[in-house]
Amino acid sequence: MSSDREGSGNVFGATLSRRTFVVTGGALVVGAAIVGPRLMRKGAAKGAAGGASGKNSLDPSLASSWIEIHADNTILIRTGKNDFGQGTTFTAYPQIVADELRVPFEAITSVVQGDTHQTPDGSGAFDFLGGGTPNIRKAAAYTYQALLVLASTKLGVSKEALTVTDGVVSGGGKSVTYGELVKDQQLALTIPVSGDLHGIMGLRVEGDPPMRPASEYTVIGKSFANPVIREKVSAKKTWVTDVRLPGMLHARVVHPATLGSTLVAAGELDKGKFPNAQVIVRGNLLGVVAPTEWEAIQAANQVAQATKWSEWSGLPAHDALHQHLREKADWKTTAVAKGGSNTGDVASATSSASKRLSASYEMPYMKHAPIGPTMAVADVKDDGTVHLYVHNQNPQQLRGEIAMMLGTSPDHVIVHAYPGAGHYGRSNGGNSGAEDEAVILSKAVGKPVRVQWMRADDMQWSTQSPAAFSDVEIALDASGRMSAYRIDHHMPAMQDDRPVGAVLAGMPTMPAPSAKGEFIGSTVNNLSDPWLYAGVPNVSEQGHGTMQLGQEASPIAVGLRDHSMRTPGQYQQNYPRELAITEAAALAGKDPLQFRIDHASEPRVKGVLEAVRDASGWETRPSTERTSARGGSAPLRGRGVSLMFRSGTYWACVCEVAVVPDTGTVTVERCTVAVDPGIVINPQQLKRQVEGGAVMGISHALYEELPFDEKGVTATSWANYRIATMADVPPIKVVLINNPEVGSYGGGSEAANALAASAIASAVHDATGKVVRRLPLKPEYVKGALQV
């Protein structure tokens, strides 16, 4: 293809060019050019310059298009963001593009996502709506302007005199379709981009193209169905679990006996029973491959029985977890994070307080617990090229990690993205467990290898959401208003993105989180729960971080590895805050929902609280002291409320519970969630996201606590890591607040899972007069708190 261009023009900082080479059909493709400093994480893979060039990458300034407008008026969009079931890339993204381009939703006939060789940007499967301007929106806005330029030339009418309806540009009594504008031409629009393609945040579209005012939206706001649901439900979709390559071997990995064991002697394979199997050892990584899955499973079991690992017991006992965190963990080495809303003088306000609340709150380790254990298929070719077939929240970061592991450049790694079981954050840093192991084993045997973790591997060798504790002090003045609020959050490092197979095999990885680490590779516990009670004059929020438990003591540098999980960090920070606010309201003799409204100034905070109050039938009254909670088989009932702001969206939740004092059993009987994301893009999809999140939140609140001992995780299956079932799910009412005047849209698939715990704990308090400050609210903890 010729690179000669003509007719170059500047479009709000983007460059429109018309190449002389004409391909059949014609198209306008929107690529990317790198501008500005790249944000490279230390230790992250260096290689393809921001993904801008090199083989196996689309050339972002030319062919790696975000958006293609075809001569037949169909439109294709591409995004590196990989759907994890919320459907945003298949519903909200086409809706956003359709509105920016002034075309119907149906004009966007194809969404290409995730694959590293055919998408333009990276970043993780989180924050899809990008604070209201996701990359795809800006790319569409640039594209629209370029189309106006083309139409202006074609029609001989000034841009300002043009109008566009359903992809037809009109002006001066003439009109032309987008398809006609690009027909028989090869047009390229180069837009400015910054960032690190292989970093967790990926590339970001820069510049300031004019974007369509929300008041003109015609596609956003409607409930379009997610087309992928039909494919999945009708068994037409190829899942990652379905990928089979010619000559592929099945593998199982025999993971070490503890989170600090080294391999003493690999077990000998019983060749009589498993004639086609093979054992692969790389450092402390032990894999078993076989042509059939059943032979691989059985052979791995046999080898595991015969393998000897060194002893290790470097974790605190589970019962001593919070004592360990409080008394033995090092919170001094890591810099203390300060809240952005810190103000006034908390100490003096507290010393002159009329009443004071001083309390500590404890949260457990939890699992992401995907329904399908992690798996991947790798095909390492003779020429060093690696093809990886995965379900992954950040394929571009995975690509960098695999390249680093192999000492090659990301150009040599192609990650193919497929649907799979939800990860809830586990792989947003590029790996979920099996990807690197599949590569190592494929390279060893010279054939494609499919590594499938068994349920126990997934419980014991994946990362966890870190435990945490927070100390809170709240001062009330004589009128019962909060005069001071202090909170100190404590949590081990939350983002260990090292591929565990590479760690076991002794191959290169990024560093483990440490006090010196950069960005989220640091142990710093950043404040992630925006303060919403602006009426409190003295506020001090601090975050304290430390190393992951057992990592330094583990000879293999493993220990309890942590990873961000849905609403990461904010879950651990919002629970103590919201329960403490409820306790402060009780101390003041005030209704906890009205107490929140009375301390807020942001109208959307008040609005979301009023919405959840009205929708739940909330009775405004203070929680009263109950004396009957010590015993009895009759359920006590109460209600509680919680509040959060996340990714542009305001959330409030009311849960109503029944507590049986004799057993400590808590049942959620009703749950109401109010959501104000600004503009609601797709009501039906948002409602389903909120319901799902709320159910996960109930599961977190009532059941989830990772069991472990000094050696490692003792959960091996769903029998010892319980999650909510249908029987645990109450009627859930979702109230969507469409606030178009906000002019932007916030996220919807995080936060909902973090609202229930504090609302339920507050409801238990309302029901019983007792406060259960330790999660989960399982019967033994609740019963214990009721006896105090």
Instruction: Report the interface residues with other proteins, using CB under 8 A.
Output: 84-87, 225-226, 229-230, 232-235, 239, 241-242, 244, 292-295, 369-373, 419-422, 424, 452, 454-455, 684-685, 688-689, 691-696, 699, 717-719, 723-727, 729, 732, 753
Q: How far apart are CA 642 and CA 695, in angstroms?
A: 15
* Minimum gap (Å) between residue 422 Cβ and other proteins: 4
The closest alpha carbon to 645, from 609, 691, 695, belongs to: 609
Q: How far apart are CA 682 and CA 621, in angstroms?
A: 36
Which residue lies nearer to other proteins by CB, 90 or 178? 90
Which residue lies nearer to other proteins by CB, 30 or 724? 724
Which residue lies nearer to other proteins by CB, 19 or 646? 646
State the residue for tokens 């939350």.
Answer: 494
**At 397, which amino acid appears?**
Q
Which residue lies nearer to other proteins by CB, 66 or 128? 128
Which residue lies nearer to other proteins by CB, 197 or 777? 777
The closest alpha carbon to 599, from 539, 684, 675, belongs to: 539
Omega within 30 of 0 (cis) for the link into 776? yes
* Minimum gap (Å) between residue 691 Cβ and other proteins: 5
Which residue lies nearer to other proteins by CB, 422 or 640? 422
* Minimum gap (Å) between residue 694 Cβ and other proteins: 7
Cβ atoms of residues 112 and 77 within 8 Å: yes
**Three-state SS letters, 712-761:** CECCCCCCCCCCCCHHHCCCEEEEECCCHHHCCECCCCCCHHHHHHHHHH
Q: How far apart are CA 465 and CA 757, in angstroms?
A: 15
* Minimum gap (Å) between residue 234 Cβ and other proteins: 6
**Three-state SS letters, 679-698:** CCCCHHHHHHHHHHHHHHHH
* Minimum gap (Å) between residue 204 Cβ and other proteins: 27
Q: How far apart are CA 779 and CA 662, in angstroms?
A: 9
Which residue lies nearer to other proteins by CB, 223 or 787? 223
* Minimum gap (Å) between residue 455 Cβ and other proteins: 4
731 exposure class (CB count in 10 Å sphere: 0-12, 13-18, 19+): exposed
* Minimum gap (Å) between residue 367 Cβ and other proteins: 10
* Minimum gap (Å) between residue 269 Cβ and other proteins: 17
Q: How far apart are CA 634 and CA 639, in angstroms?
A: 17
Q: How far apart are CA 297 and CA 291, in angstroms?
A: 11
* Minimum gap (Å) between residue 63 Cβ and other proteins: 31
Q: What is the CA radius of gyration of the chain?
A: 28
Which residue lies nearer to other proteins by CB, 73 or 452? 452
* Minimum gap (Å) between residue 241 Cβ and other proteins: 6
The closest alpha carbon to 681, from 141, 82, 112, 214, belongs to: 214
The closest alpha carbon to 73, from 186, 180, 184, 165, belongs to: 180
Which residue lies nearer to other proteins by CB, 333 or 717? 717
* Minimum gap (Å) between residue 716 Cβ and other proteins: 9
Q: How far apart are CA 694 and CA 642, in angstroms?
A: 12
Which residue lies nearer to other proteins by CB, 88 or 396? 88
Which residue lies nearer to other proteins by CB, 459 or 556? 459
